[in-house]
Structure 1
Amino acid sequence: MAGHYTIAGKQIPTHIVAMAFIGAYAAAGIGYSMKPKPAQPATPPIQASSADEEAFIREFLSKAEAEEKKN
């Protein structure tokens, strides 16, 4: 028959050890993939060359959003 490992004084078949390892590996992968991700900013960052340009862009975007909500 197949081999056995002695763990804590008990004979454990190798296929049980293998299934436990695969299950633990899968659980770790699921746990890693389900952890919360950091929040992303709603809009991309504004890369303006001056403060006036940045203010103009922000004002334009706020007007565009207001116009979009009206429609």
Structure 2
Amino acid sequence: MVAMYTVAGRQIGSHYLAIATLGATFGLPWLLTRGGSSKKSTTPPINASSKDEEKFIQ
């Protein structure tokens, strides 16, 4: 028989509490540290009228 605990007015088995605790302990940090998509910093287009002007802007 499993021990039952009252959580938020409901009876929850200890094995479900253990699974939830382990999931939160290891799952949340893994999800939060996976890293996001690396977006490249894009610069606005250079509308130069000549190559010399483009080199000066860069």
TM-score, normalised via structure 2 length: 0.51
2:22 matches 1:22: yes
**1:65 aligned partner:** none
Tell me the CA shift for residue 32 of structure 1.
4.3
Helix, strand or coil at the partner of 1:34: coil
| Distance in 2 of aligned mates of 1:10 and 1:32 | 30
Amino acid at match of 2:4: H
Which structure 2 segments of 5+ residues have no match? 37-58
> Number of matched residues?
36
More helix by share: 1
Amino acid at match of 2:2: A
Structure 1 vs Structure 2: percent identity of aligned residues? 33
TM-score, normalised via structure 1 length: 0.43
Matches within 5 A, 1:1-71: 1-35=1-35
Amino acid at match of 2:17: V
RMSD: 1.5
